[in-house]
């Protein structure tokens, strides 16, 4: 019996009740078993069986501390100090909060129009209720997630090329795996994917990691390619060039399932995207590029995947498109050991608004008005311009749910200024976050152990997962469906949110699933059949029904229909000689874990890593506090000097979640350093994603 199995058996023997649920410490929502006794969580582990066989990461194991954190928000809080001054809040009742929101929404609609209300969430923890209220009843077209602060480039690439929103990685049977700026052994994705990656490596698959930093994933690789930051597009295009030039591509697959191959091969030649051309740009030898292209072509099944690394530049979308085309040319699509185009579970809507009650938005959605009609999500880097300058149209009211954009988006000062210019901002969070500090009203959400939710599981087969409340919400905190119901009633839309308990709406949502709610509650998960090569039935969900090497949508919207290489916009120079890139830490999750006692005991601050060559050049030593200065600002942080980062590159480890300044956080306050203030708000002109890796800095010893 495993240690986790033994502990859960002991927990049950001692009288704890097992409740299946899922973890929301990071966006990957792994299915969980939660053990509860006397209204307290005593143990949490991964759900046994499919898909992750009980796996749990450290953040998931420490998750119960989020619920129990004494710093949690307990009541609705209204700001009483003027904007731009020290934030002061007073407790108000839910009734007052609901009334205030309804009044402000009515006022803003009357004065400026409903589209001036914008709502943002990160990773949709039941935001769907708010979406229905704001878009279908109130009438704003502007309800968005925070993909621009995340994987906007990758998402645009996968949507454009395959018509699929979020491929899974079916590593288990892969023989050849190439990971470009994706670091699953630290920046964990679904734990089942990591387990399958380990299994594939155990069975002898070759792993190649392309990353300026020698990551923990690179430690397990056969080959590490320390590429120059922001140049992946050039290397990927040169690999495509070799595969086509040497006739190594999968001709039957390409002929039957792709559109635009001939245009692409002509384009590669015409532009001269050869390995020799790419060597000068990427610092990767031409011979290596050619060899990797050959290896990839003959070792099947293969996966070539990317995430934020190449994406978080102003040339990110085309870099990701070019990387994805390596799967296409080699015919590695949606089979065992490939990129998996998962089917969705038949999970229904929570609330259905009748046609006659539906609002009709009068203005185009903000991303379209901003000039990014194909962007998969709002380019939040351009949001300050809408708020401060009214360009392309004014934004007056922000709803922020489960995101801390003051810390997570670039250009911290500009984001703060944006908040000062708003008429009203409501933040719904578990804590008095830095974004909450800038808001007019702050509402306490119930945590994922205190609320219910049904969502798509991130597994290769269609899967629905259930989060069910295991303990009571702290203080007066309320789950999202109760919050939205309260606001809706004050707005006169109460009839559409008539459910009394979460089970009422859950019954509606599970109607399409082949299990009853009762059964679903017992298991916490429903997994359908995994199918491979689904495109053989109906083609791909793209305009041409084929994989689009040449994109019709891009052409129609004035973008280059073929992927091209452009240099990114912020390049180191004599004054600022280092490219400051960003990379996540395994023990922390975005901007949630910095107040977690266990995780902070393991990793209590963040730092920046540089190569010994640069340390000597700039006179700093391992462990020093250093000043990083960019044209945009400066910050003091600890430096670690390691061989495993390319000279000329400084790698900030988890630089958005640390250096927290909310005085309401007794553990996380002031630990480590926040570095998003060193970036300008440049965004990729193709997809509108944030370019976090585009910071140039100089480094020197801090006098502290």
Binding interface with Mo ion (CB under 5 A):
150
| Complex with ligand MGD: residue 124 or 250, whichever CB lies closer | 124
Task: Retrieve residue 468's tokens.
Answer: 């069910």
Partner whose binding site includes residue 191, from ligand SF4, ligand MGD, Mo ion, none (CB under 5 to 8 Å by kind) = ligand SF4
| Complex with ligand SF4: residue 365 or 524, whichever CB lies closer | 524
Residue whose C-alpha is closest to residue 79's, from 480, 436, 486, 478: 436
In angstroms, what CA-CA distances link 639 with 633, 645, 701?
18, 12, 9
| Complex with ligand MGD: residue 250 or 453, whichever CB lies closer | 453
Partner whose binding site includes residue 310, from ligand SF4, ligand MGD, Mo ion, none (CB under 5 to 8 Å by kind) = ligand MGD
197 touches ligand SF4 by CB under 6 A: no
Q: Provide the sign of the torsion angle of the four alpha carbons 266, 270, 274, 278, taken in this order.
A: negative
Q: Which stretch binds ligand SF4 (CB under 6 A): 24-32, 151-159, 354-362, 600-608?
A: 24-32
Residues that bind ligand MGD (CB under 6 A): 24, 26-27, 122, 125, 146, 149-151, 180-183, 186-188, 210-213, 215, 227, 229-230, 232, 307-310, 401-405, 408, 428-431, 433, 445, 447-448, 581-584, 586, 588-592, 651, 655-656, 676, 692-693
Which distant-in-sequence residues (6+ apart) come within 8 Å of 589 by Cβ?
Answer: 25, 26, 59, 657
| Complex with ligand SF4: residue 30 or 130, whichever CB lies closer | 30
Distance of closest approach, residue 640 Cβ to ligand SF4, in angstroms? 24
Task: Retrieve residue 672's tokens.
Answer: 């480590």
Strands (E), 218-345: 223-225, 258-259, 302-306, 339-340
Partner whose binding site includes residue 183, from ligand MGD, ligand SF4, Mo ion, none (CB under 5 to 8 Å by kind) = ligand MGD
Partner whose binding site includes residue 582, from ligand SF4, Mo ion, ligand MGD, none (CB under 5 to 8 Å by kind) = ligand MGD
28 touches ligand SF4 by CB under 6 A: yes
137 touches ligand SF4 by CB under 6 A: no
Does residue 154 contact residue 311 with C-beta atoms inside 8 Å?
yes
| Complex with ligand SF4: residue 185 or 253, whichever CB lies closer | 185
| Complex with Mo ion: residue 328 or 383, whichever CB lies closer | 383
Partner whose binding site includes residue 25, from ligand MGD, ligand SF4, Mo ion, none (CB under 5 to 8 Å by kind) = ligand SF4
The pairing of strands 258-259 and 302-306 is: unpaired
Distance of closest approach, residue 354 Cβ to ligand MGD, in angstroms? 29
| Complex with ligand MGD: residue 155 or 164, whichever CB lies closer | 155
23 touches ligand SF4 by CB under 6 A: yes
DSSP 213: B
Q: How far apart are CA 386 and CA 604, in angstroms?
A: 37
Partner whose binding site includes residue 250, from Mo ion, ligand MGD, ligand SF4, none (CB under 5 to 8 Å by kind) = none
| Complex with ligand MGD: residue 142 or 542, whichever CB lies closer | 142
Distance of closest approach, residue 503 Cβ to ligand MGD, in angstroms? 20
DSSP 227: P
Distance of closest approach, residue 584 Cβ to Mo ion, in angstroms? 9
Residue whose C-alpha is closest to residue 186's, from 63, 64, 304, 58: 58
Q: CA 246, 247, 248, 251: dihedral to nearest 10 degrees? A: 170
191 touches ligand SF4 by CB under 6 A: yes
196 touches ligand SF4 by CB under 6 A: no
Partner whose binding site includes residue 341, from Mo ion, ligand MGD, ligand SF4, none (CB under 5 to 8 Å by kind) = none
Q: CA 555, 559, 560, 566: dihedral to nearest 10 degrees? A: -170
Site string (583-612) toward ligand SF4, x via CB under 6 A: ------x-----------------------
Task: Retrieve residue 483's tokens.
Answer: 């919050």
Distance of closest approach, residue 122 Cβ to ligand MGD, in angstroms? 3
Which distant-in-sequence residues (6+ apart) come within 8 Å of 245 by Cβ?
Answer: none
31 touches ligand SF4 by CB under 6 A: no
Q: How far apart are CA 277 and CA 272, in angstroms?
A: 7
25 touches ligand SF4 by CB under 6 A: yes
Q: What b/e string do you get for 357-395 counting C-beta neighbours within 10 Å, with b at 16 or more? A: eeeebebebbbebbebebbbbbbbbbbbbbbbeeebbbb
Give a three-class secondary structure readout of 58-89.
HHHHCCHHHHHCCCCCCCCEEECCCCCCCCCE
Measured distance between the N- and C-terminal CA atoms of the chain, rounded to whole angstroms: 52
Q: Which stretch binds ligand SF4 (CB under 6 A): 51-59, 478-486, 501-509, 638-646?
A: 51-59
Does residue 110 contact residue 468 with C-beta atoms inside 8 Å?
no
Q: How far apart are CA 686 and CA 354, in angstroms?
A: 36
Partner whose binding site includes residue 30, from ligand MGD, Mo ion, ligand SF4, none (CB under 5 to 8 Å by kind) = ligand SF4
Distance of closest approach, residue 146 Cβ to Mo ion, in angstroms? 8
679 touches ligand SF4 by CB under 6 A: no
List the interface residues with ligand SF4, window 93-132 (CB under 6 A): none
Q: Is 327 helix (H, G, I), strand (E, B) or coil?
A: helix
261 touches ligand SF4 by CB under 6 A: no
Does residue 350 contact residue 509 with C-beta atoms inside 8 Å?
yes
Task: Single out the residue of 16, 30, 153, 443 in contact with ligand SF4 (rule: CB under 6 A).
Answer: 30
Task: Retrieve residue 239's tokens.
Answer: 């690999």
| Complex with ligand MGD: residue 351 or 407, whichever CB lies closer | 407
Binding site for ligand SF4 (CB under 6 A): 23, 25-26, 28-30, 56-57, 59-60, 188, 191, 589
């Amino acid at each position: 019996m495993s240690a986790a199995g033994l502990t859960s058996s002991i927990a049950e023997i001692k009288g704890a009740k097992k409740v299946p649920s899922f973890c929301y410490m990071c966006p990957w929502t792994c299915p969980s078993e939660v053990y509860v006794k006397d209204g307290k969580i005593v143990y949490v582990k991964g759900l046994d069986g499919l898909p992750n066989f009980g796996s749990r990461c450290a953040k998931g194991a420490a998750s119960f501390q989020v619920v129990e954190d004494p710093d949690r928000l307990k009541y609705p809080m209204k700001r009483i100090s003027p904007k731009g001054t020290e934030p002061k809040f007073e407790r108000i009742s839910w009734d007052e909060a609901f009334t205030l929101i309804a009044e402000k929404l009515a006022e803003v609609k009357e004065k400026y129009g409903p589209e001036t209300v914008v709502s943002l969430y990160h990773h949709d923890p039941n935001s769907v209720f708010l979406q229905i209220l704001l878009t279908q009843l109130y009438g704003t077209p502007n309800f968005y997630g925070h993909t621009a602060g995340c994987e906007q480039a990758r998402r645009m690439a996968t949507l454009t090329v395959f018509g699929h929103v979020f491929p899974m990685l079916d590593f288990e049977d892969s023989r050849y795996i190439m990971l470009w700026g994706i670091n699953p052994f630290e920046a964990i994705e679904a734990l089942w994917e990591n387990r399958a990656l380990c299994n594939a490596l155990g069975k002898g698959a070759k792993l190649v990691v392309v990353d300026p930093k020698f990551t923990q994933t690179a430690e397990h690789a056969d080959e590490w390619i320390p590429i120059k930051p922001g140049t992946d597009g050039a290397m990927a295009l040169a690999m495509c060039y070799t595969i086509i030039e040497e006739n190594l591509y999968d001709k039957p697959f390409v002929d039957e399932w792709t559109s635009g191959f001939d245009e692409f091969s002509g384009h590669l030649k015409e532009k001269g995207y050869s390995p020799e051309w790419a060597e000068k740009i990427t610092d990767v030898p031409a011979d290596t590029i050619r060899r990797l292209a050959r290896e990839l072509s003959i070792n099947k099944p293969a996966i070539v995947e990317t995430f934020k690394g190449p994406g978080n530049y102003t040339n990110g979308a085309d870099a990701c498109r070019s990387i994805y085309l390596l799967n296409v040319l080699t015919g590695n699509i949606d089979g065992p050991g490939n990129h998996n185009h998962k089917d969705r579970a038949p999970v229904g809507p929570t609330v259905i608004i009748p046609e006659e009650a539906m609002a009709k938005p009068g203005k185009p959605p903000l991303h379209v008005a901003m000039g990014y009609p194909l962007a998969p999500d709002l380019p939040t880097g351009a949001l300050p311009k809408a708020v401060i300058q009214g360009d392309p149209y004014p934004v007056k009211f922000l709803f922020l749910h489960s995101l801390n954009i003051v810390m997570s988006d670039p250009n911290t000062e500009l984001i703060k200024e944006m908040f000062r210019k708003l008429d009203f901002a409501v933040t719904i969070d578990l804590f008095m976050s830095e974004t909450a500090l800038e808001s007019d009203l702050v509402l306490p959400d119930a945590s994922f152990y205190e609320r219910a939710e049904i969502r798509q599981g991130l597994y290769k087969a269609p899967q629905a997962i259930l989060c069910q409340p295991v303990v009571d919400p702290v203080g007066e905190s309320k789950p999202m469906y109760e919050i939205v119901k309260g606001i809706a009633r004050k707005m006169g839309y109460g009839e559409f949110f008539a459910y009394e308990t979460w089970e009422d709406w859950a019954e509606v949502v599970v109607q399409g699933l082949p299990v009853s709610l009762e059964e679903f509650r017992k298991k916490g998960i429903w997994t359908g059949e995994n199918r491979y090569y689904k495109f053989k039935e109906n083609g791909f969900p793209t305009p041409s029904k084929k994989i689009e090497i040449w994109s019709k949508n891009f052409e129609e919207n004035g973008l280059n229909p073929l992927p091209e290489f452009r240099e990114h916009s912020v390049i180191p120079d004599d004054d600022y000689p280092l490219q400051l890139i960003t990379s996540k830490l395994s023990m922390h999750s975005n901007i949630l874990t910095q107040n977690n006692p266990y995780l902070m005991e393991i990793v209590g601050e963040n730092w920046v890593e540089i190569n010994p060559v640069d340390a000597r050049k700039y006179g700093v030593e391992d462990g020093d506090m250093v000043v990083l200065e960019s044209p945009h600002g400066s910050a003091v942080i600890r430096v670690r000097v390691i061989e495993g980062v390319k000279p000329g590159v400084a790698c900030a480890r988890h630089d958005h979640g640390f250096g927290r300044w909310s005085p309401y956080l007794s553990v996380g306050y002031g630990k480590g350093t926040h570095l998003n203030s060193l970036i300008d708000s440049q965004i990729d002109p193709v997809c509108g994603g944030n370019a976090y890796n585009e910071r140039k800095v100089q480094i020197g010893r801090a006098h502290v």
